[in-house]
Copies of this chain bind each other. A is one copy, B any other.
C-alpha cells in the first residue's frame, strides 16, 4: 500500500464489494472548513496529491482528480504513475465533476461518498441531477477508512475562553440576538455547523484547525436550550464551569447524529445547506421543514463590537510596526547577507511571535521573491526556497493570531534595481489600494459596487488580478470570513452583503506578471459611518494597517495629484502611529520611508 496505484486498486476492491460504482472523496472536514486538519486529508492519502484543493472520483474503470489552475503543475508531478487522470478545472472541454457523473453513471448504478465530508448543497445537486433516473446515492460510510492504517488522530485540542474583557458581548446576549432572528424566520431550532460561528457565539476558542483557533463542534439552539457538541478532551474544568454557568448544555461531538435523530423537534429547523454536511442535512430534512439560509451568526460575527474594534485597532498597529521593522531589515540586508524565502519568513514569524498576546500565525506566511510572487498561493518550503538578492521585488503576505485580534497584511518591496515597468505596476497597485481605502459611498453599497475603484487604474492599462479585492477577517478567528467581500463578478446565485459600520475588510489589489514579478499591497480597513445628509448615510473606510508603501518603487508620473495626496496623507499617519515603536536609526528610516512626495 505504498503507492497511490496500490491504494486506488484497494479502494476499487472495496467499492466492488460494497456495490458502489462511483466513489467521491473531496477535501473537507465535517464542517466544510477552508483549511482541514491532517485527519481529514483522505484525498491526499489516497491520491498522493498534496494540494489544498481537489476531489477524487474513483470507479472500476477509472480514477480522476479534479483541481484548479493553482495546482495543475504540482498535480501532474504528484499523480505521475498513479494511473489517476487529472481533470484541469475550468479548462475548455474539461467536464465538471457533476458533468462527469452525469455522462458516466448509468441506470441502476450507485454513487457513494462519506456524507460527513460533502456539503449539503453538493448532495442536493446530485439528487437533482439523477432525479427519476434510478441512481442510488449512499453516503453513510467512509469506505476508504480501512485503507489508512496510520491515519492521524482526530484533532482534539483543549477549549479556551475568550477573556470576558475582550468579548464585548456575553454568550447570553449573543444567544438572545440569535433567538430574535430565529423568531423572525419562524424557526424553532437552529443547527450551526460552521466552526467559527460556533466559537464566536459561545466566546470560546481552540486549536483543531491549523491557524484557525476553532474546536470541532456543532450546536443546536432552540428557544429554551443551547446544546454544544464538543470532543471530550476539549472540555476543561474551566470550560465546563463556564458552560454550566451560562446554562449551555454539552454533549459529545460524536453523538450529534444520534441526538439529531432522536431529540424532540417542534417546528422548523434553520440550517444553512452550504455549511452543513449532507449526512446531517438528510437527518434534519427527515425531521422537519428546513429554513435554508446563512446562519444568523455570520452577519453578527462580521460586525465587530466596540471592544473588539478597540483591540483590533491596537493590535494592527503593533503588527504593522513589526512588519515595518522586518521590511527595513530586508532592504538593509538584501545582498549583504545570505537570505532565502523560507529563512526570512521564519525571521518574520519569530519577530511577530514576540508581540505580547501572540498566539499563532493567522495563516502560513507567503514569502515570495521575484517571479515566485506571480504564482498564486506560492509557498516556499524546505525543498524549494529561492535565494533573495539585492534587486527586484520581494512580496510578503502574513498575519498573526493575538489575544485580541487576527491580522493580515501584504507588502511588496524593491530590494534594489527594478525596471520602469515594475515601478509603473507598483505605483498603479498602490493607487488602487489607496483609492479604494479612501472611497466614500452611500449606505447600501456592497463589495460589488466598490470593487472597480481598486481595479480601474489597472483595467485602464489592460491589467487585472485574478482574485477578489477584499474579504472579511475574524476576531481571534479565521483570517477569511464572510458574509461580505469586495468582488466584481456577477453571480446571481450568490447573495451580496451590504457593507455595515463595524465590519472589517481587506483591500488587496495586485499585479502578477508570470515569470517576472508579482506585486500585492494589502491593507485592512474598518467600515465607519460618515456624513448623513439629505442624500442618505455616507460610509467610509478607516485604515487599520500602518505599514509604509515602498517609495523606492513609486513613480509619481503614474499618479494623479490626488493619488499623491492620498499617499502622503497615509504616510503621515503611518509615521504618527508607528513612531512610538521606533527609535535611533530605525526611526530615521521610518521618517525617510514615510516622507511626503512633492507633486
Contact = CB atoms under 8 A, between A and B. Distances in A.
A492 interface: yes
A490 B444 contact: yes
Nearest to A440: B459
A356 interface: no
Contact of A535 (B441, B462, B488, B495): B462
Interface in A311-353: none
A298 to B, nearest CB: 16
B448 A536 contact: no
Contacts of A562: 560
Interface string A443-467: 0111011111100100110111010
A459 B488 contact: no
Contact of A498 (B490, B533, B535): B490
A62 interface: no
B459 A442 contact: yes
B496 A462 contact: no
A232 B233 CA distance: 85
A464 B536 contact: yes
A439 interface: yes
Given A448-B449, A451-B449, A464-B536, A495 B496 contact: no
Contact of A452 (B449, B463, B531): B449
A9 to B, nearest CB: 40
A17 interface: no
Contacts of A416: none
A250 interface: no
A561 interface: yes
Interface residues of A, number: 35
Contact of A489 (B444, B489, B560): B444
A538 interface: yes
- Most-contacted residue by chain B among A439, A440, A452, A489 (CB, 10 A): A452
A375 to B, nearest CB: 15
A456 B438 CA distance: 11
Contacts of A456: 439-440, 453
Given A448-B449, A453-B452, A462 B495 contact: no
A211 to B, nearest CB: 31
Contacts of A536: 464
Nearest to A461: B440
Interface string A557-585: 00011100000000000000000000000
A445 B440 CA distance: 21
B488 A449 contact: yes
B496 A492 contact: yes
Contact of A441 (B442, B449, B452): B452
A538 B448 contact: no
A482 to B, nearest CB: 16
B442 A464 contact: yes
Contacts of A441: 452, 459
B498 A462 contact: no
Given A490-B498, A492-B496, 14 more contacts: A439-B452, A439-B456, A439-B459, A440-B459, A441-B452, A441-B459, A444-B489, A445-B488, A445-B490, A446-B490, A452-B453, A459-B538, A462-B535, A560-B561
Interface of A: 439-442, 444-446, 448-453, 456, 459-460, 462-464, 466, 488-490, 492, 495-496, 498, 531, 533, 535-536, 538, 560-562
24 contacts: A439-B452, A439-B456, A440-B456, A440-B459, A440-B462, A442-B459, A444-B488, A444-B489, A446-B490, A448-B448, A448-B449, A449-B451, A449-B452, A449-B488, A452-B452, A452-B453, A462-B533, A462-B538, A463-B535, A464-B536, A490-B496, A490-B498, A492-B495, A492-B496
